[in-house]
Chains A and B, each alone.
Chain A
Amino acid sequence: MTLNDIMFYLFAGSILTFSVLTVTSRRILRSAVYLLFVLVSTAGIYFMLNYNFLAAVQLTVYAGGIIVLIIFSILLTSHVSEKAVVAPVRQQIFSALATAAGAALTILTFLQYAFTPSASPAVEANVHNVGLALVSYGRDGFALPFEVISILLLAAMVGAIVLAKKEKHLATAGNQPKINPDNSSKS
């Protein structure tokens, strides 16, 4: 058993443990923190696979950005001490059965399949190669997805702002007569 193996099982164990805790914890804030641990462990696996850039992105965007966002929204929508409402036991059991069956089936399936690891020389996923691939447009170039994802991010940003913004007429509805009753009734 090498250090590598130990590292791997450590990460794997923490991923599974904290995943389970994420979906079972009664306190939402704790769930978020457990999720953070899962994501960090995943980043560790990426490091192990020698994908350092991806691991860095995982840490900054996921662990840094999204988790903070989630924690903020938890703080906005519920009390820290508030315990989450749990689904009925029946629902839990059935869901557990279905997911367990699904997991078993999937694992069973791919275990039967013999993957043949490739022996071809690996490409170093360092920042140089990654950066080049991201902006080149030929074969193995990812310029178009890069641009598309940037537009998506912009759109998501605008959308998030518009959605989360307080609607004006709601704030002033009390002292202004509604002019167009048809369009305002949806909110």
Chain B
Amino acid sequence: MNILTLFVVIPVLTVAGILFTKDLKQSRMVSAIGMTVQLILSAILVYLYVTERQAGNMAPMLFTFDALWFPALNIHYAVGVDGISVAMIALTGVVVFAGIFASWRMEFLSREFFISLILLATGVFGFFISLDLFTMFLFYEIAVIPMYLLIGIWGSGPKEYSAMKLTLMLMGGSALLMVGILGIYFFSVPEGGQLTFNVLEIAKHQIPIEMQRFLFPFTFVGFGILGALFPFHTWSPDGHASAPTAVSMLHAGVLMKLGGYGAFRVAIYLMPEAAQEQAWIFIILTSISVVYGAFGAIFQKDLKYINAYSSVSHCGLVLFAVLMMNQTAFTGAVIQMISHGLMTALFFALIGMIYGRTHTRMINEMGGLMKVIPFLGVVYVIAGLASLGLPGFSGFVAEMTIFFGAYEHVDLFHRVATIVAVSSIVITAVYILRVVGTLLMGPITDKHFLHLEDANWYERLSTITLVIGITFIGVAPLWLSDMINFSLAPLIEKLATVQLPGM
């Protein structure tokens, strides 16, 4: 069997396995085994990919596999990966693994919970391996739908409202996306040719510029909603705040990346001309996202809201970089996706663990936790420092790559936008330190906190996995950036051929 298909098959098998379990213990064990296998598989994939490239395989996509499954519309199950997808798959593997351990104590309807969670993961893995737009869209929907159940059933606070809001907004995004995808499908191939959904095939043709102008906004906004593009980001704070820990982790860590990845793989790759023409609108929006999310985070009191707004800011940076459309910025965007995925998953895991102990998420009700739960405190500080872009952690690498990529443009507009985006690093520092200060430092504010227990083994496993990911990329980013860089070559070539009057 093709190694990529395994990425879909193993979660499905795991789900099937969970169906036969009886209680929390068994179902979490099955999930943990399944996702561990998945994590190992991701590592193997990275290894295979790197060796294959070193062996001189220059094909744009590796490990491809193609099977026709709906002949009438020429829909294929076409899979294949390049460096970017490999990186995203590795990220997903890590985050899902950590997510399973973060929900080790999901007492309520545990079987159903793990099934939904892994179903979501299936969708995400499928999305990253797909080369066929329709299959990609299908997996996208598979990833979004369980979200509704996961938030609506296992959430907290106004969970029904949040679940509904999140699902509806994402569905709205899908609707736009569907228009975009169908438009691409019908207009990509010149008159008389066989219509196709295959990304690589479509990329060989040129979509007429008039159609691109029309389709690009649909596709980009469709993915942008998932990537929390201002002003379509409001599902993110509510959704994240209501979601259970593992779901926030997966959602912010991985699902939001589908937006960035899709914007990049579909919108920009297939419609470069329109992208260059219309980029300025979205650059303005994403610059606003970046600064606005950061300012929004300063004022929040709920830990999850803070983190959700910080996600808006960081994911805004991803889209910002994608729109800059040069090699460096693209590399930065991908690294930022991975980095933010790991960081924010770590944050949400920690918030869940802290909430599980203090039963509040309001920072002004907490204080001095460093003394009682030093492990979680230290990891929180690490996550915070990573988030504000400290060297040695992945965030720094990503941000710097993005800034340098963005600054490569010589015109004033791009440079001003870059400087606006750069200024977010200060604001980030402000809100991160504010949280760290109120939450962890200072005297203990509540005597109930004196008896809190520090992290368990599974909590340690979950957080340490993520911390290792963050620092590994932060300390040795070269392999990753080279892997991404190489895969960007076809896109850069395509962009280089684009000549537009007046740009």
Direct A–B contact in complex, judged by CB atoms less than 8 Å apart: no
Residues of B whose CB lies within 8 Å of any CB of A are none
Residues of A whose CB lies within 8 Å of any CB of B are none
